[in-house]
Structure 1
Amino acid sequence: MNAHTPLVARYFAAWNETDAVRRRALIAETYAEGAVYVDPMLEGKGHEGIDTMIASVHERFPAFVFRLLTDIDGFGPYVRFSWELVGPDGTVAARGSDFAVVDATGRFSSVTGFLDAAAQPD
């Protein structure tokens, strides 16, 4: 098990949480206060911005879940892993890789996502 496995598990739990109160608690446990998430389609700054971003994904892809595709790779404060966003029927809406930096408190200070495949906008 990689030292960052529990943090990445919370990351996925936050992305998959539909209850806003529980999601905000997971975000606070996973991301530093001023953390930034950015990928080609989304950007969130701070806990509120990240929560808004995740909520928008739930609106666009109801009942879809993110799941880890690869082992968690990392050294020092740097982490990378790949994931996919999957619907109840097995449809993959997106697939990509995230690269993150962990701060001294053990939370993400930044996450940069790269999309390998994504559903076309409606």
Structure 2
Amino acid sequence: MNAHTALIDRYFDTWNETDAGRRRELIAATWAKDAAYADPLLTGDGHDGIDAMIRAVHERFPHHTFRRTTQVDGFANRLRFSWELLTPSGASIVKGSDFGVVDAAGRLQAVTGFLDEAPGAA
């Protein structure tokens, strides 16, 4: 497993973590302190903002999980990958693609997400 794949697998572990303390540890290990996340529905800046954003997703979609659906493609400090959000029964309800920038320490500096398939999306 390469460093980008390990980083993104930890990124999904972070999104799926429901224990607040453990999630904060994962955020610190995965994201730069001044990192930023943005997609059409959510934004989060810094560790506190990213934690609040993930917590809001857990409140809106209890017991749902994210999973990576493609290999992590990257060069230099840039990467991309696709994912899906699964219901507790395993049905995929949202699919997307994310693009990231990795800092010199190997943590995520920025992630921009795009929704590829979502309910009600035209």
Q: CA deviation at 1:89?
A: 1.3
Separation of aligned partners in 2, 1:7 and 1:94? 22
Alpha-carbon separation, structure 1, partners of 2:12 and 2:3: 16
**Equivalent residue for 1:56?**
56
Aligned partner of 1:31 in structure 2 is 31
Aligned partners of 1:9 and 1:67: how far apart in 2?
A: 9
Q: Is the contact between residue 2 and residue 73 of structure 1 (CA under 8 Å) also seen in structure 2?
A: no
In structure 2, give the amino acid aligned to 1:94: V
Alpha-carbon RMSD across the aligned residues, in angstroms, is 1.0
Q: Quick one: distance in 1 between partners of 2:50 and 2:6?
A: 19
Confirm or deny: 8 A CA contact 1:98 1:111 kept in the other structure.
yes
Q: TM-score, normalised by structure 1?
A: 0.95
Matched pairs, number: 120
Q: Is the 8 Å Cα contact of residues 80 and 98 (structure 1) preserved in structure 2?
A: yes
What is residue 12 of structure 2 aligned with on the other side?
12
Q: Is residue 47 of structure 1 aligned with residue 50 of structure 2?
A: no
What is the DSSP-based 3-state SS (H/G/I as helix, E as strand, rest coil) of the residue aligned with 1:4? helix
Secondary structure at the counterpart of residue 3 of structure 2: coil
Structure 1: distance between partners of 2:2 and 2:87:
28
Q: 1:105-116 residue pairs with structure 2 within 5 A? A: 105-116=105-116
Q: Structure 1, unaligned stretches of length 5 or more?
A: none
Which residue of 2 is the match for residue 99 of structure 1?
99
AA aligned opposite 1:41: L
Percent sequence identity is: 61
Secondary structure at the counterpart of residue 24 of structure 1: helix
The alpha carbon displacement at 1:62 in A equals 0.6
- State the shift of 1:33 in Å: 0.3
Letter in 1 for 2:40: P
Structure 1 segments, 4+ long, off by >3 Å, are none
- Structure 2 segments unaligned to the other structure (5+ residues): none
Report the TM-score, using the length of structure 2 for normalisation: 0.95
> Matches of 1:15 and 1:23 in 2, distance apart?
8
Displacement of 1:5 = 1.1
